Amino acid sequence: MSTLIRQYWKNGRGFVLGLAVGVSGSAAFVFQKKYLMGPPPSHKALRYGSPETSKLRYFTNFVCEVDYSSKNPIWVAEHIPCQNIESKASRKGVHYKEDENIDERFRALLSQYRGSGYDRGHMSPAANNKSDAIAMKESFYLSNCCPQVGKGFNQDYWARFERFILEMRPQCENIYVVTGPLYLPKKTSEKEEGVRPLGASWHVEYGLLESPTGNLLAIPTHFYKVILAELKNDSLGGQSRHALGAFVMPNAQIHPKTPLESFSVPVAQLEQAAGIKFFPKFFDNINRSGKTPLLEGRVRPDEEKKYLHICDVTQGCAIPKEDFWKK
C-alpha cells in the first residue's frame, strides 16, 4: 500500500487532501480485450440490473448526482451565461422542497434540517437561477443542498464566494462551476490509536442529521468549487483563453478577512480527495504532469500555459466585501 498525502493549512485549520492507492499482486482478473474499454452489452451477472448507488438529476441550469448513502449531492455542475443576462425571478415565496424523484430512503428530508442549527446550503446558488421562476424553484430542491454552518459561512464567506464568481461575468463568455461536499480525513493522534482501527493512521469523522424515521443525512467537513471560465477575446491582451481555479473551504465559520486565494488548491489533488475527474473533456489535451504545474496550485500567464488561474484574472481573487448584498 502506497499513500500520497498533501496537507494544507487554511485559516488556522488543517485539512487534508489525500489518496490511498492499493495494489494487490496476488489476485488479478484477466478480461478479454474487447471488454477493456467498457462492459459488454449484457452480462449474465446483471440479469436483474446493476446495483444503484446514486442518481443523476437534470434541471434547467444545473445537473447533480445524488449519493444514496450520504443523501447529499456528490457534485453539482452548473453553467453561468455571461451575455444578455436578465434577472426575472425572485426567491421571495420560494420554499425548500424534497426531491420526490429520489426514493425517500435515499434523499435528504426537510425534517432532518428542522431544528438542527444547520443551513440548507445551496450548491448551485439561487442567485445563479434567476432566469425564470422554474429555475429558481429547482434550485431549492434538497438535492441541490447540503448541511452548512450558517453564521460565518453559508450566510457570510460562502455567499461572498458565490458573488465573486458572478462578478467575473463581464470578462467572460461562459462560466462553468462544479460544487460539492467533502468528507476529509484527520491524522490519528497517539491518544486515539487505541480506539481507531488497527494500523489506521488517518480517520474520517463527520456528523449526521437524523429524521424521525431514522434516516441519516451526512454533514460534510468541507466544500469545494472548481471554476472554469471562458474568457472574452479582449481579455488579457486579446488572447482567447481559459481560467481555472479550485477552492476548498471548511464547513465552519471563516474569518471575514481571510484571503480567498488561501483556499486555492491544486485541481489534481482535489480530484484525488473527491474521487472525481473535473471537466474531463477540457483536460483531454492537457498533460497534467507536464508544463501546466497543477501540483503547485497556481498557473501564471505565459505563452506555454494552456490556461490561467482564476486569481490571475480577478485582481488576485479579490472577494466581495462583507454584507455586499446590503449595498
Phi, psi angles (nearest 5°) of residue 250: -70, 150
| Active-site position among 122, 203, 255, 309 | 122
Question: Which DSSP string corresponds to 69-85?
Answer: TTSSEEEEEEEEE-SS-
Dihedral sign, Cα of residue 236, residue 320, residue 180, residue 128: negative
Q: Furthest-apart CA pair in the chain: how many Å?
A: 65
Dihedral sign, Cα of residue 36, residue 38, residue 40, residue 45: positive
Distance CA 251, CA 240 (A): 36
Grid coordinates in use for 230? 471562458
Query: How big is the chain by its Cα radius of gyration, in Å?
Result: 21
Active site residue 122: yes
Closest residue by Cα to residue 128 from 156, 167, 186: 167
Question: What residues contact residue 39 under an 8 Å CB cut-off, 6+ apart?
Answer: none
Dihedral sign, Cα of residue 105, residue 106, residue 109, residue 111: positive
Distance CA 326, CA 141 (A): 26
How many C-beta neighbours within 10 Å does residue 227 have? 21
What residues are annotated to the active site?
122
